[in-house]
Amino acid sequence: MKIGLQPAQPFSGVRASSALLRAIAATLLACGSYPLHAGATLVLSPDGATVYDTVNGVNWLANADLAATNRFGLPVCPAPGAQPCVNPSGSMNYTSAAAWVAAMNAANYLGHNNWQIPTTPLIDKNCGKTGPTGASFGFGCTAGSLASLYNALGFQSPNTAAPIPNNTVGPFSNLQPYLYWSASTGTSASIGNATFSFATGWQGANTLPNFLYLLPMIPGKLSGTPTATGTALQVNSGGQTVYDPMTDITWVANANLAAANPFGLPLCTSPTSPALCVAQDGAMTWASATQFLANMSSAAYLGQTNWQAPTIDSSCPGYNCGGTKNPMGNLFYDQLGFSSGMSAVSVPDVAADPFHNLQPYLYWSCVAAAVQDACETAGPADNFEESYSFGSGFQGTDLLANDLYVTAYYVGPAPTASDPVISGAENAAGGSATIAPNTWVEIDGTNLAPAGDTRVWQASDFVNGEMPTELDGVSVTVNGTPAYIFYISPTQVNILTSPGTVPSSVAIELTNNGAVSAPFIVPTQSVSPSFFCFNGGPYVAAEHANYSLLGPATLYPGLTTPAKPEETVLLFANGFGVTSVPVVSGSETQSGTLSPLPVITIGGIEATVAFAGLIAPGEYQFNVTVPASLANGDQPITATYGGASTQAGTLITVHQ
């Protein structure tokens, strides 16, 4: 049958229902946009992907947290062993940052293979401080690439580049995804106080003139409050304090109280003026934090006169330290349920024109004499590398094991062409960066199709029963072989790769009416298994044997119902490789079974698979019996085939 459906319907299975097709469409056709503007010395490229720095002659990533959405093949942390990985938020340690940039270059991202981590010179006469080895740090730096960028965007220390809106995290409000002061000294008094990050769960240390946040506390339980039962956090009457029975500490519920009530401290006009002050966003130096706590106690805030900063035991490692040794860590790990590398607050897509997704946290940098120079092998000290904070404009150094954000630039002139640019390619159903033959693939980028041209293939696009390899002048080759074009738009194109064997990596090239993109390199395997999902996830696209939709009743009210134990259900998938009937390249019909059958587990129990095979171009159907012993509720589901597994987090709903 011809696969000519409306834009919400990517393709038809031989017998998949129209509602199911709409669900799969949501997976394949997701895309987005953002406003584009340019600053005085920062010029957004025509495709919106890079920002040209006219002063330093480099092209920055416009998405300042690209790693959160494009890992370039690196796994999500935690990864087995010590291999480089990326946290879901986009943060990573320095080794992973270097590996991520190397992977960008291997992919020839945006047509360039000279991306680099931003650089910082060891000596910058404008920095406010000089370290024991003579290296510059502190506020006011200008020579480093990130410092130059912070200044070019018009920010002034100690202000954050990305204010965080009011938020709620458990019983706390206004928690900042940044560093918080403790009253404890670091491993030595010379390096300042121990601090804790609610952006990653890292316990480290910071110099006392830095600007961090403060979470005031009182040892013990407030008199007159109800007796604590269990170990969970207890919100006291009025909601202004929270008691942690695990550490016997009472916390202020407003985790950035100073932004709303500075208790007599003036607003900072610079990092050093007035000497004691609170920044506009609520951050402050340790000296100001000490005075802030004294003023809280003098004012008998909430009837209490013993407000303090929490402590951190010097024996705590960088991550996973809680309990009484690290009361803030206890909140993060044990009470709020976060894990190392996670941010306690989801940072919105903060626009700092012409950039977006700028994170109000630390970014990795590397040592080099000039902005356009390559990173030097040695860091500023053993096991350390340069960093820069867009939370305050502070330049410093960080342990290589810490998790910071990373952006990149390449040296060269500003792009001027309107040629198509591929910024990403992935399995269209599961998001894997590894693709396979006869697999639905999503290509993202800019200028991928004529302006305003957004459509899927129609019956008229098929010639002699073959799928189209071109729509409105848009075509794609994978390893030099034409792919089949299902959907086009200026920012997203969906293709079906041709069958046949492929090398371990291939080049994807897209042509838009004669203009050809730079090759985009992606890894390949013989299989790239994934489930199609309703609305992009987490529920797998599935049907009952009578072809009605399977899912929780709330998913599509009146249409979806859960599976029953011992019921045979139909699942739909992508990227499972060759079948018993060879696929004819371009044919609008595909069939054949998989051998051996995939291993499918539901709720950790292996299910019986009665059928697994192709029913339409690139669309696999599995007939699976739901295990009898499953409990009611959402159950994780995984299919494993050819040494690879479907994407994590997929669910199927079961109910007796």
pLDDT tens figures, 571-603: 999 999 999 999 999 999 999 999 999 999 999
Please tell me whether the peptide bond between 360 and the residue prior to it is cis, using omega within 30 degrees of 0: no
Confidence at residue 36, expressed as pLDDT on a 0 to 100 scale: 25
What is the Cα Rg of the chain in Å? 27
Question: Rounded to an integer, what distance in angstroms lies between the CA atom of residue 619 and that of residue 575?
Answer: 8
Confidence at residue 416, expressed as pLDDT on a 0 to 100 scale: 72
- Mean pLDDT score of the chain, rounded to an integer? 90
The segments of the chain whose pLDDT lies below 70 read: 1-40, 80-81, 187-190, 417
620 in Cβ contact with 572 (< 8 Å):
yes
What is the three-class DSSP state of 164? coil
- Residue 222: which of 168, 294, 324, 300 has the closest Cα? 300
Confidence at residue 13, expressed as pLDDT on a 0 to 100 scale: 30
Question: Rounded to an integer, what distance in angstroms lies between the CA atom of residue 587 and that of residue 565?
Answer: 38
Beta strands 366-367 and 355-356, pairing class? unpaired
Place of tokens 């506009």: 280
Angle at 358 between CA 352 and CA 361, to 5 degrees: 125
- Annotate 477-490 with three-state secondary structure: EECCEECEEEEECC
Question: Rounded to an integer, what distance in angstroms lies between the CA atom of residue 393 and that of residue 388?
Answer: 7
Q: What does the block give as tokens for 24?
A: 């799969």
Q: What pLDDT digit, counting tens, does each position of 264-296 carry? A: 999 999 999 999 999 999 999 999 999 999 999
Please tell me whether the peptide bond between 596 and the residue prior to it is cis, using omega within 30 degrees of 0: yes
Confidence at residue 187, expressed as pLDDT on a 0 to 100 scale: 67
Q: Name the residue type at position 189.
A: A
Which residues are paired to 76 by β-bridges? 86
- Residue 176: which of 333, 351, 344 has the closest Cα? 344
288 in Cβ contact with 277 (< 8 Å):
yes
Question: Rounded to an integer, what distance in angstroms lies between the CA atom of residue 409 and that of residue 113?
Answer: 11
Confidence at residue 227, expressed as pLDDT on a 0 to 100 scale: 87
Cα distances from 297 to residues 44, 181, 300, 303, 372, in angstroms, run 50, 18, 5, 9, 51
Tell me the helices (H) and strands (E) count for the chain, helix number first.
6, 43
Confidence at residue 501, expressed as pLDDT on a 0 to 100 scale: 87
Domains and CATH numbers, the chain: 18-32+418-523 (2.60.40.10), 48-155+347-411 (no CATH), 168-335 (no CATH), 530-654 (2.60.40.10)
Composition of the chain by helix, strand, coil, percent to 5: 10, 30, 55
Cα distances from 635 to residues 26, 71, 322, 556, in angstroms, run 22, 28, 31, 18
Angle at 527 between CA 7 and CA 108, to 5 degrees: 75
**H or E stretch at 115:** strand 115-116
Q: Count how many Cα atoms sit within 13 Å of the Cα of residue 417 in the half-sphere of its side chain.
A: 11
Q: Name the residue type at position 328.
A: M
- One-character DSSP codes across 14-83: SS--HHHHHHHHHHHS----------SSEEE-TTSSEEEETTTTEEEESBTTGGGT--TTPPBSS-STT-
Q: What does the block give as tokens for 387?
A: 């960093």
Q: What does the block give as tokens for 334?
A: 């044990």
Confidence at residue 417, expressed as pLDDT on a 0 to 100 scale: 67
**H or E stretch at 356:** strand 355-356
- 539-561 in b/e burial notation, b at 16+ Cβ within 10 A? bbbbbbeeeebbbbeebbeeebb
629 in Cβ contact with 507 (< 8 Å):
no
393 in Cβ contact with 150 (< 8 Å):
yes
Residues 6+ away with beta carbon under 8 Å from 312? 182, 184, 194, 195, 196, 203, 321, 325, 326, 328, 329
Cα distances from 580 to residues 125, 149, 436, 591, in angstroms, run 70, 57, 17, 8
**H or E stretch at 148:** helix 145-152
Distance of CA 451 to the CA centre of its chain: 29
Cα end-to-end span (Å), the chain: 37
What is the three-class DSSP state of 626? coil
Distance of CA 224 to the CA centre of its chain: 44
Distance of CA 193 to the CA centre of its chain: 30
Which residues are paired to 609 by β-bridges? 624
Q: What pLDDT digit, counting tens, does each position of 470-490 carry? A: 999 999 999 999 999 999 999
Confidence at residue 30, expressed as pLDDT on a 0 to 100 scale: 39
Confidence at residue 350, expressed as pLDDT on a 0 to 100 scale: 78
Cα distances from 408 to residues 484, 521, 538, in angstroms, run 33, 19, 32
User: Phi and psi at residue 446, in whole multiples of 5°?
Assistant: -135, 150
